[in-house]
Structure 1
Amino acid sequence: MRELTTAETVREEGSWLFTVRDRYGELDEVILVPCEDSGEHGSTSGRPATDGGVEAWINRCTHEAQRFDTGRGVPMRDGQIICPKHGSMFDSCSGYCDNGEAADTTLPSVEISVRDDGRVVLTDDEFTFVGEGGIDDNEGDDGPASTSHIGF
């Protein structure tokens, strides 16, 4: 288990992005989003919302692997995650999409829990925490991206 952030931070900022390594050693991004399961959108996947009002999803649309959070936060409206490329909307509590290009798909989930004190903890055995932020933020500094050694 790895402490990530607090549920209060996720609600105040609207989302929280972090990087994980899967069991095959591949990096992936995960978003934490507020989930206020009011019943309007329901938990259509049959997966109950976590206690504490936060859910975790892999940071990409099921249609074309478009990242939701590109470093500026997850676009959301009325409890739904919006794909910035095609506008498909995913329920933040269930991960289910009932419209657009990604209709009838569900976002891959990442197991978390919210402690009584509001701390969000990564509990998914399939992933190891790498760091806060996106993959590009966590790859380390390997020098310049260009092969040119010319400086200005």
Structure 2
Amino acid sequence: MQRLTTVETVHEDGSWLFTAEDPYGDLEEIVLVPCEDGVEAWVNRCTHEAQRFDTGRGVPMRGDQLICPRHGSLFDACNGDCDNGDAAGTTLPGVEISETHGDVFLTDDDYTFAHEGGIDDDDGPSSTSHLQL
């Protein structure tokens, strides 16, 4: 069981992103989002075209729904269901967590905590410049 963050932090910040390793050794981004009095964890991508919810600025939310930044589909933060847009009729892949005394723990046997933040956040600076000297 890996401690991730606190329920209070997720509620104050609106979401919390971390990277975990799946059973095949691949890295997966996972987001924690506020849900009623607690927190839920979802794989960080829309079910429609694998668009990331949190692209480094937090999960876009409207009330208690995650918003796909590409097509605007809305997913219920508590159960992951989508009933509109291009992702209608789908459910986000969930990740098992637990809450104890205000702390959030990763309890899903399919994932091993790698680090806070997105997959590329631990690689250091990267060059995206197209300038030539």
Q: Indicate whether the TM-score tops 0.5.
A: yes
In structure 2, distance between residues paired with 1:109 and 1:16? 15
The reply on whether 1:97 has 2:82 as its aligned counterpart is yes
Amino acid paired to 1:80 = Q
Question: Aligned residue for 1:12?
Answer: 12
In structure 1, distance between residues paired with 2:126 and 2:10? 33
In structure 1, distance between residues paired with 2:71 and 2:78? 20
After TM superposition, what 4+ stretches of structure 1 lie above 3 angstroms from structure 2?
143-146
Match of 1:109 among 86, 94, 100: 94
Question: Aligned residue for 2:107?
Answer: 123
Aligned length: 130
Question: Aligned residue for 1:49?
Answer: none
> Quick check: which has more Rg, 1 or 2?
1
Q: What percentage of residue pairs aligned between the two structures are identical?
A: 67
Extract unaligned runs of 5+ from structure 1.
Answer: 37-51
1:144 Cα deviation (Å)? 5.7
In structure 2, distance between residues paired with 1:85 and 1:32? 20
Note closer, same or farther for the CA distance 1:13–1:144 as it changes in structure 2 (3 Å cut): closer
TM score, norm. by length of structure 1: 0.81
User: Helix, strand or coil for the counterpart of 1:108?
Assistant: coil
User: Helix, strand or coil for the counterpart of 2:47?
Assistant: coil
In structure 2, distance between residues paired with 1:25 and 1:134? 16
RMSD: 1.6
The CA deviation string for residues 6-46 of structure 1, in whole angstroms up to 9 with x for no partner, is: 0000000000000000010000100000001xxxxxxxxxx
